[in-house]
Amino acid sequence: MRVLIVGALGQLGTDLCREFADTELFTADLDGGDHQLDIRNFAQVRRLIVGAVKPELVFNCAAAHNVPRCERDPGLAFAVNAAGARHLAAACKHVKARLVHVSTDYVFGRGHTHPLLETDMPAPLNVYAASKLAGEHLVAAECPDHVIIRTAALYGTAPCRAKGGRNFVEMMLHLAATRPVVKVVTDEITTPTCTAALARQMRLLAEKGAPGLYHATCQGACSWYEFAQAIFADTGTQIRLDPVCAAEFQSPVKRPEYSVLENRRAQEQNLDIMPPWREALRDYLAARGKASAP
């Protein structure tokens, strides 16, 4: 199978490359890989997919996902997350490739208290979320053989380029090592999702799932404060951890207060293999050599 991973040098792309190491794998990224690619440029996208690679399966992990920057620069957000996604979808349709496109829990707005299904109505609160939702619609309209995967709160062993290299786990450990007190919000609820687990799930959905929209996160839910508690507990880190409200950080970007997803559609097809979030965290810390002794 000829597989192309776009955004291959990012957190999720890196784990997808490991997952597909047994295939005829091609990688593309704005920063390099086998092919340097800017998905905003349709001519580049077409040359790569239609001309050079002719893949059977394409994964789009490329995104503008620095949320504050998207708020400041909507043109960039929509050029990458919407128009760029459409460019990939059009090229995939031309060569009859399946496109697996990554989206986000942020497409949902406020007022939710129960895990959200694929059939629930999105209501984006910020530019990033709106641009990702637009990308979903454009992929679905342009490429019949699509799999759109919404996920949440990603962390992985590769550097998070949109956040200066540190994911939430590494940032918490860095802050604990450099400050006497760490403050984390307790009124935003999500599901931390490890990219290694997500990559396995994405391969299964890509190979066996019916076309359409899927949710794919680890199982369960927690606040960012509870996530930090688990990180410190599982690494044996001694630090004062204070719960605070999101309003204390005075962010100019509106974010969902509750964006927990339910993997209903994968479950209905007996394809949901995502682990509990705490189990995935322990596996990540073990892989990083940071788990405390039992």
DSSP-assigned states of every residue in 206-225 = HHHSPSEEEE---BS-EEHH
Token couple for 225: 């404060």
Which residue among the candidates 128, 214, 225, 284 is catalytic per the annotation? Answer: 128
Residue keyed to tokens 């682990």: 275
Q: Report the Cα 256 to chain-centroid distance in Å.
A: 16
> Which of 69, 105, 275 minimizes the C-alpha distance to 189?
105
CA gap 153, 291 in Å, rounded: 20
Report DSSP state, residue 15.
H
Token couple for 289: 């050599």
Q: Confirm if 156 and 167 have CB atoms less than 8 A apart.
A: yes
Q: Confirm if 255 and 107 have CB atoms less than 8 A apart.
A: no
Helix extents (H) in the chain: 11-19, 42-46, 67-72, 74-78, 85-95, 127-142, 168-178, 195-208, 224-235, 264-268, 277-287
Note if 128 is an active site residue. yes
DSSP-assigned states of every residue in 156-196 = -SS-BGGGTB--HHHHHHHHHHH-SEEEEESS-EE--EEHH
Q: Which helix (H) or strand (E) holds 24?
A: strand 24-29
Q: Give the burial class of 76: count Cβ atoms within 10 A of its Cβ; 0-12 exposed, 13-18 middle, 19 or more buried.
A: middle
Residues annotated as catalytic are: 128
